[in-house]
A and B are shown apart, each in its own frame.
Chain A
Amino acid sequence: MYGLAILLFFNFVGVLLHEWARIPLPGSVLGLILFAAGLFSGLIKLQWVESTSHLLLRHMLLFFAPVVVGAMALSGILRQQWPSITLALTGSLLIGMLITGWTASALMRGRDDQP
């Protein structure tokens, strides 16, 4: 419970920061950045949050399920122009993914000390 309390606290601080300081990143991503700062500074001990985080992250796909069901339910708005949408969605996904993966692999080549 300790871990969940800490995660919810940072989530809420992130949401507050997004609302008040008008930082153009979502509250959960701001919470992630602040929580990372807490871990790296040693303010938050890893053992306080490790088991809760592990549980939440192992089942993160579950939390996305209602969002994906929503997208499927609303996907009627894609009906017009679906050929161009399908082409662009698939094509640009592969392009963005492969550019990142190939660039990272190329820049890490020859340094077999790390994965």
Chain B
Amino acid sequence: MSDADRSAAETTAALSPYEARALIAIAASSGPVTADDIAASSELAVDQARSSAEFLRMKGAVDAPEDQEVELKSVAITDVGAAYRKLGHPRQRLLDVVRGASGITPADLRSKVDVEPAESGAALGWLKQNGLVRVGKDGLVQATAEPFEGKAATASAHLATTAALLARLEDAGDEAQPWESISPEEAKVIDEETRKRGKARGPFKVDTTTIRYYVMTDAGRGLVDAAKGVIAAAENEIGQLTSDHLRDGSWKGKSFRRYSMNIRPPRAVAGRRHPYREFLDRVKRSLIGLGFEQMTGGLVESEFWNMDALFMPQFHPARAIHDAYYVAKPTHAREIEQPYLDNVAAAHENGGDTGSIGWSYDFDRERTRRLLLRSQGTALSARMLSKVPRVPGKYFGMARCFRCDTVDATHAPDFFQVEGIVLGEEISLRHLLGLLKIFALEIAQSEVVKFAPTYFPFTEPSVEIHMKHPRLGWVELGGSGVFRPELTKPLGIDVPVIAWGLGLDRMAMVALGINDIRELFSGDLELIRGKKLRP
């Protein structure tokens, strides 16, 4: 088979019965034909004929030269128009009521005509303006007596034209009337109504359609025989397979209509995880895979667990009111668990039995009870250490944290911190680096990392890790360190504890193609539906 034959065969295979009928109708005509012509000489409805002809044109079987296209304007009646035909145009209805009464108040008039107030007002205004009714000194509306002159005569004719046009169009049914059949007076009525009510709510629908003239192409002529075959087969063909076919066996011996598969299905809404949570779920899964156990904790914390227990001195700059959100009521926790309060106070004041000299200041026990919104996930780690954790053990937390920042593209009102601890007799700085390296690999898929010394009040040594991100270049993945004995000993822990925290916001934003962190929490469903995390 040659390429041309093969392509002809594929086209044939894809010819639908409708297309086959249209093709044969076009082939049988002596010259260019319209969709109406096709419908007339086939068993197709006009819209079927039109879409079939268009599909044939896309397949190259027929052509529709642009210079032969004709713009056709037509007018049809709408549902509103049909109602007018039945009940009368609002103006006519008002006029009829006025004529049937010997003087009527506007309010009574309105109550007798089932028309929207705004519309009846406008209709009454029009009738008055054109002198078909007038309002007497007694406030009653009266009909003007015939014969009419001037404006009243024109208006009366206008009403008659409207009624006649509505009748003519409704009698024509669904069939739109060509614009050529519309008289200048009728055109005036249509224009006015369309202007007044808008296209959607008016009594008339004016359409402009393009009439195309279809002619056969050579390829099309080569398909005529095949089209005949398609029609013959269609007689004996099943479109939608139904339960009935199966129940009574009527599908047997019949063929199945060939479907064109590349038409997009209607859009549907599907249940799905939020992309940001999906990202966090992945991190969670990675950490479980690395043998970490999850810790959880409350949103409201005391300064004790949020800061004091972390050996952050009470005079530390990060403890100023400008950095954390403080709770209005109650302002203080009832109590701080012992012996941790005494132990931590001693660690701050003089080191207690931690081997440290402490921060050397008067520790304020009242302040430890002050309540705030958790400002760092490390609070979870401190509480975990006080709960007799497993040794050796690994723990992680994903904690929503709150900091006093103006909300903008890089600061959300609250955000996730992912962090945790590793406890073990033999934990060393090299383990800490190893852990960070595996985070970079497992969580951020980066094999290239570098370490730098840094400072946290609660770790010594302290290390930050930078990794080479495939798209961002060098980025800081997180901070880490070995908890100071001033933190661990007061909580009853005697083994080294690695603490780590990962900054994931930026990576999540890159993964989701987001430049503004607030979008992570957007309320716009379409925006959320558009964000996709690649597997």
The finding on whether chains A and B are genuine partners in a shared complex, rather than unrelated, reads: no
Q: List residues of B whose CB falls within 8 A of some A CB.
A: none
